[in-house]
A and B are shown apart, each in its own frame.
Chain A
Amino acid sequence: MSWFSKTFSSSIGRKLVVAVTGLFLCSFLVVHLIGNLQLFKSDGGASFNIYSHFMATNPIIRTMEIVLLLGFVFHIYQSLYLNRKNNSVRKVPYAYNRPQDNSNWSSRSMGLLGTVILLFLIIHLYNFFWRARFGEPNMIDIEGTGYDDLYSVVVQSFQLWWYVLIYVVAQIALGLHLYHGFSSAFHTLGLNHKKYTPAIQKFGAFFSIVVPAGFASMPLYFFIQGLLN
């Protein structure tokens, strides 16, 4: 085996892949959140539709889309591999076990939380990404140019209470996943230092609250708006 494949098939090497892709996916969350904040602009969805058009057609974004997909694939594949291996180590389970006395539930449940996020992702991509790319949304005229009216797709989707609920639950799962994952990724990369680790942990906690809350605010905003109208 070459040194390269030996490294990346070791337990630490695989974790390294999970950590690097995890941090990359965190950067995607930030971009996605900032872009989507345009949903809150009260211009009837004009800026959101223009932004969506840009995201769907710009060649750099389209290339990054493939990189992003690979990020997800590697993150999920290696996590599943490690999870399966880890679950097979203890062949006889403890009759009496109290893990709650020595660790956080979220830290122990990364696989479960990740699965919830993955299921959400499939629903989310099917409803928005798939329709935007391959569906036929209504066209809308913005300053003389025709755009796909994805804003209306978003608004209509979030009138359904159960659909909003799926989003909110998924964001709670994402928050818990990030609460462990963000600082854990730095730990796996070996980046631990008296000066920086406390800051990384604090930022990780902040990130795990603010980002999912930002995402959850969108379906809630349109749902409440729908109730008021």
Chain B
Amino acid sequence: MAGNNPNSKPMNLTLKVWRQKNSQAAGTLETYQIKDISPEMSFLEMMDVLNEDLLLKGIDPVAFDHDCREGICGMCSLYINGRAHGPERGTTTCQLHMRKFSDGDTITIEPWRAGPFPVLKDLCTDRSALDRIQQAGGYISVNTGGVPDANEIPIPKNIADKAFDAATCIQCGACVAACKNGSAMLFTSAKVSQLAMLPQGKVERKTRVENMVAQMDKEGFGACTNIGSCAAECPVGISLENIAMLNREYINASFTSENV
């Protein structure tokens, strides 16, 4: 199963995987031995191999979220050896490769843990709470029509860059998973600041931040204590600055918006 690289020796690993039948059932960590894993495999390919093994043994395969496997969709998750998306910084689980592990390693794999992210099955969690925050105000209301000319609305380069950096959030929920408080502030701040910085987003600026923060609290996420573990674990490098901007936006909106 090893790749073409002569240096890549196949590895034998011990996996401790969270198994949970459904959202109501209590889960446990099950131990599985897995053999001949190529260091060139991605983490999710290793999970595929595990599932093939389990199927052959007549065991229910492990359910885990994944989609694009290119690090852009935000569907994969997994808390690997105590870290959201595993030990490597700035990558999603699907972009984590087995070469980051060594032969004989024990790898503990758990789902995202947060009240607003209930476990559906095994490693799959329901992250629709983030969708509802987004739906509470993470949009702009404009009439569709002809395509506007490029650069019709002047936006300074540095602002466009910052807004784009915030817009790279893939809504995977690693920030919530890594946060000691289970706070969704980094996610919400990326969505709020992205639109607050751009002219098109300024129309609904105040109402947006009020509604999105209200929804964030309603979903039961914790409060941010500026620890910074979210930004450290974020696979796309959303900056903590966005949280300061969200605070600024929220304070400003609370005291100056027309919403009584």
Q: Of the 9-residue stretches A13-21, A141-149, A209-217, A221-229, which lies at the interface with chain B?
A: A13-21
User: Inside 8 A of B240's CB, which chain A residues have their CB?
Assistant: 187
In the assembled complex, how far is the CB of residue A76 from the closest CB belonging to chain B, in whole angstroms? 15
Task: Known A94-B113, A98-B82; judge A190-B244 contact (CB<8 A).
Answer: yes
B110 pairs with A96, CB closer than 8 A: yes
User: Inside 8 A of A184's CB, which chain B residues have their CB?
Assistant: 225-226
Q: Which of A7-38 contact B (CB under 8 A)?
A: 7, 10-16
The answer for the CA separation of A189 and B29 in the assembled complex, in Å, is 42
Residue among A86, A88, A180 with max Cβ neighbours from chain B (10 Å)? A86
How many A-B contacts at CB < 8 Å in the complex?
143
Return the 3 tightest CB-CB contacts between A and B, nearest first: A190-B248, A89-B182, A192-B244
B182 pairs with A103, CB closer than 8 A: no
B223 pairs with A90, CB closer than 8 A: no
A103 pairs with B228, CB closer than 8 A: yes
Task: Known A190-B247, A190-B248; judge A88-B115 contact (CB<8 A).
Answer: yes
B245 pairs with A101, CB closer than 8 A: no
Which secondary structure characterizes the binding site on chain B?
mixed
Q: A159 at the A/B interface (Cβ < 8 Å)? A: no
Q: Total interface residues on B, using CB and 8 Å?
A: 53
Q: Which of A81-125 contact B (CB under 8 A)?
A: 82, 85-99, 101-104, 107-108, 110
Q: A191 at the A/B interface (Cβ < 8 Å)? A: yes
The answer for the CA separation of A195 and B251 in the assembled complex, in Å, is 21
B223 pairs with A85, CB closer than 8 A: yes
Chain A interface residue bracket vs B: 35 or more
Task: Known A3-B254, A187-B247, A192-B244; judge A11-B226 contact (CB<8 A).
Answer: no
B232 pairs with A11, CB closer than 8 A: no
Q: B168 at the A/B interface (Cβ < 8 Å)? A: no
A86 pairs with B247, CB closer than 8 A: no
Q: Select which of B108, B119, B226, B243 is within 8 A of A107 by beta carbon.
A: B226
User: Inside 8 A of B182's CB, which chain A residues have their CB?
Assistant: 86, 89-90
- B binding-site residues for A, Cβ under 8 Å: 16, 18, 27, 29, 79, 81-83, 87, 108, 110, 113-116, 119, 178, 180-183, 213-214, 216-217, 220-229, 232-233, 240-241, 243-252, 254-255, 259-260
B247 pairs with A108, CB closer than 8 A: no
Task: Known A94-B82, A190-B244, A190-B248; judge A11-B213 contact (CB<8 A).
Answer: yes
B180 pairs with A86, CB closer than 8 A: yes
User: Inside 8 A of A16's CB, which chain B residues have their CB?
Assistant: 247, 251
User: Inside 8 A of B260's CB, which chain A residues have their CB?
Assistant: 2-3
User: Inside 8 A of B226's CB, which chain A residues have their CB?
Assistant: 107, 180, 184, 187-188
A96 pairs with B183, CB closer than 8 A: no
The answer for the CA separation of A103 and B228 in the assembled complex, in Å, is 6
B254 pairs with A187, CB closer than 8 A: no
The answer for the CA separation of A2 and B255 in the assembled complex, in Å, is 12
The answer for the CA separation of A87 and B250 in the assembled complex, in Å, is 24
Nearest residue, chain A, Cβ from B180: A108
Q: Select which of B79, B81, B115, B213 is within 8 A of A12 by beta carbon.
A: B213
A15 pairs with B224, CB closer than 8 A: yes
Nearest residue, chain A, Cβ from B214: A10
A89 pairs with B114, CB closer than 8 A: yes
Q: Which of A54-104 contact B (CB under 8 A)?
A: 82, 85-99, 101-104
User: Inside 8 A of B250's CB, which chain A residues have their CB?
Assistant: 10, 12, 190
Nearest residue, chain B, Cβ from A98: B82
The answer for the CA separation of A14 and B180 in the assembled complex, in Å, is 18
User: Inside 8 A of A188's CB, which chain B residues have their CB?
Assistant: 226, 247
